[in-house]
Amino acid sequence: MVRNRNKEIFKTEGLLKVEKYFSKDLVKRIHNALWEEIFTQFRIRLEDKSTHPKASLDNQDVVRLNNMNPVMRKLQDDGVFKEIEEKISSFLLESFPDSLWKVNESWYSLINFPGNKRTWEVPKNSWHNDIPIVSGEELPWSIFVFIPLDEVTIDHGPTLVIPRSHLEGLKLADEFGVYDKNSIDAFKSTNKDLALDFKTTKLLPVGKLLPLLREGRAFTPEKSFKPLVGSGGDMILFDPRGLHTGSSNVSNSPRQMIRIDFHLSEKPSF
Ligand SMILES: O=C(O)CCC(=O)C(=O)O
């Protein structure tokens, strides 16, 4: 069954791309509303490069639009994301029938304008993971859903991910996991409805995976990464326990990507 295949791929790879999941029309509406709001708040027009922010530092990888939260909040308040949230929710329900996922309170903008690097590269010391790895848990506490609003190519400086790195993390969590109050408290604030056995939860806190993987062996992410590239209409699910990073935008247009997170709200029973 397709839904079981989706779950298996996601559990193994930490990554699942579904091409053309959203209609072109839905993505276009979000795209247009986003750029209208960016114009209202920053006077930046996609089609007018003279209005685009420029890199201020030599060798800057990307130019981020800071203060995008009010833009994303406005779109949310206007109901622009409602339909796409429902579509993602129903996909998660189909694909992970034993668990319940709740949409995060806010959307993230990953719009990055070109920096002034000439050749594409990965910024130094930028590989990281975003959530702790709980020993024995096949699914993460959160799923990140990346949504390209237009063509995102390697030149646009996509997010790069290391497939299966969360599985390495699970092995390390078995061996080196600890009870970590900070991680548990952060978890309680996002995954409010999920009951964990807090006293016995053993996890690898954020920031521990990369150093442990590097211990005793050469870890070469540049050989095994996958770029989160795609077209408007595609949907990419990522397990944020896995290693990932941004990369430099050497194209001549912004990376048009947004992200929404879903949090686990009921414990899966396998
Ligand atoms: O692609 C990027 O800019 C970094 C993305 C990232 O680290 C994230 O979405 O957590």
User: For ligand 1, is residue 255 a contact (CB within 6 Å)?
Assistant: no
pLDDT digits (tens, 9 = 90+) for 115-158: 999 899 999 889 999 999 999 999 999 999 999 999 999 999 99
> According to the model, what pLDDT value does residue 270 have?
45
The torsion defined by the Cα of 238, 6, 268 and 236, in degrees rounded to 10, comes to 20
Give, for ligand 1, the residue of 15, 144, 159, 258 to mutate: max count of ligand atoms closer than 8 Å to Cβ: 159
Q: Going by C-beta distance under 8 Å and a sequence separation of 6 or more, which residues neighbour residue 159?
A: 110, 146, 227, 228, 238, 244, 245, 246, 247, 257
Residue nearest to atom 2 of ligand 1 (CA): 246
* CB 81, CB 258: distance < 8 Å: no
Residue 246 beta carbon below 6 angstroms from any ligand 1 atom: yes
Q: What does the pLDDT read at residue 1?
A: 61
| Least-confidence region, from 74-78, 140-144, 149-153, 190-194 | 190-194
Distance 173 CA to ligand 1 centre (A): 23
Residue 219 has a pLDDT of: 77
Q: Name the residue of 245, 247, 257 to mutate for ligand 1: max ligand atoms within 8 A of Cβ.
A: 245
How many Å lie between the centroid of ligand 1 and the Cα of residue 166? 16
Of 61, 110, 131, 225, the residue with max ligand 1 atoms within 8 A of its CB, to mutate for a pocket test, comes to 110
**Residue 69 scores a pLDDT above 60:** yes
What CATH number belongs to 2-266? 2.60.120.620
CA distances from 12 to 5, 119, 164, 193 (A): 11, 32, 6, 26
What rounded mean pLDDT belongs to the chain?
93
pTM score, whole prediction: 0.95
Q: 85 CB under 6 A from ligand 1?
A: no
Q: Would you say the CB of residue 159 lies under 6 angstroms from ligand 1?
A: yes
For residues 187 and 268, the answer to whether their CB atoms sit within 8 Å is no
Of 37, 36, 192, the closest CA to residue 104 belongs to 192
Question: How far does the centroid of ligand 1 lie from the alpha carbon of residue 46, in Å?
Answer: 21
- pLDDT for 147-189, tens place per residue? 999 999 999 999 999 999 999 999 999 999 988 888 888 888 8
Q: What local confidence, expressed as pLDDT, does residue 197 receive? A: 66
